[in-house]
């Protein structure tokens, strides 16, 4: 009984450390995913006159920046956004493994398994009315902060991809987010005081004001210690 009690106590002491270690490992895997996504974006830019992949929802009036996680258009029949990097995209193939667009920390409704059959082939396996979503939020070719076409997308101070922000459940790491910059470097942005998380919509509605995502991207790009 004494031995069992000691084991229980030691396990209780070690569990928080093991959990933190697992979270740190998952964060590193996520950062590795984003670096490879960054390399795919650079390849796309090289072949498309420095133009970023088009996200159709950002071209609507008003723009729907909430759809930055979408890999296909609304009816699931064509790739869109970061989906244009995948092998199933016409002239795609910049990102051979679609699982790189899925974070190991994701806890929402968009695991890779849900969309694997749709986006894993060399051609899009369409599902009527089924939009495929990834776990990362793409800034799009139209800047949510300024509303203008993005220029010089390979800037070292420009965040192109971050944690999903369609709903709060899509914000993969909860306490912060990995950020992919235009020059392909990745860093961690802590969400001090839940400044970002609390401004993300609780659920996905038909429409979210562009102002919501202008403020979110402004926060994502900021330094929490400098605010």
What does DSSP assign to residue 51?
Answer: P
3-class DSSP state for residue 159? strand
Residue 218 — pLDDT band, cuts 50, 70, 90? very high
| Tens-digit pLDDT profile for residues 40-79 | 999 999 999 999 999 999 999 999 999 999 999 988 889 9
3-class DSSP state for residue 219? helix
- Per the DSSP assignment, residues forming a β-bridge with 86 are 95
Beta carbons of 151 and 116 less than 8 angstroms apart = no
Helix (H) or strand (E) holding 64: none
Question: Considering only CA atoms, which of 224, 212, 222 is closest in space to residue 67?
Answer: 212
Where do the domains of the chain lie? 25-226
User: How far is the C-alpha of 127 from the C-alpha of 68, rounded, in Å?
Assistant: 20
Question: Considering only CA atoms, which of 134, 136, 223, 139 is closest in space to residue 182?
Answer: 139
What percent of the chain is predicted at pLDDT more than 70?
Answer: 86
3-class DSSP state for residue 175? coil
Q: C-alpha 172: how far from its chain's center?
A: 8
What percent of the chain is predicted at pLDDT more than 90?
Answer: 76
| Tens-digit pLDDT profile for residues 150-161 | 989 999 999 999
- Residue 203 pLDDT exceeds 70: yes
């Amino acid at each position: 009984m004494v031995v069992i009690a000691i084991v229980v106590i030691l396990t209780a002491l070690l569990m928080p450390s093991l959990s933190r270690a697992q979270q740190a490992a998952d964060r590193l895997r996520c950062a590795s995913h984003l670096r490879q996504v960054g390399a795919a974006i650079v390849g796309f830019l090289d072949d498309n006159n420095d133009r970023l992949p088009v996200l159709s929802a950002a071209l609507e009036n008003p723009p729907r920046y909430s759809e930055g996680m979408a890999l296909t258009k609304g009816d699931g029949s064509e790739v869109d956004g970061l989906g244009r990097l995948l092998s199933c995209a016409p002239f795609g193939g910049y990102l051979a493994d679609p699982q790189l667009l899925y974070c190991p920390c994701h806890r929402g409704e968009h695991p890779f398994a849900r969309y694997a059959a749709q986006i894993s082939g060399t051609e899009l396996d369409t599902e009527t009315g089924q939009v495929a979503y990834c776990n990362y939020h793409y800034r799009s070719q139209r800047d949510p902060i300024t509303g203008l076409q993005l220029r010089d997308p390979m800037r070292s101070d420009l965040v192109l991809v971050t944690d999903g922000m369609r709903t709060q459940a899509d914000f993969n790491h909860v306490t912060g987010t990995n950020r992919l910059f235009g020059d392909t470097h990745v860093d961690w942005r802590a969400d001090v005081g839940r400044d970002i998380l609390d401004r993300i919509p609780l659920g996905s509605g038909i429409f979210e004001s562009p102002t919501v995502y202008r403020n979110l991207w402004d926060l994502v790009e900021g330094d929490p210690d400098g605010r």
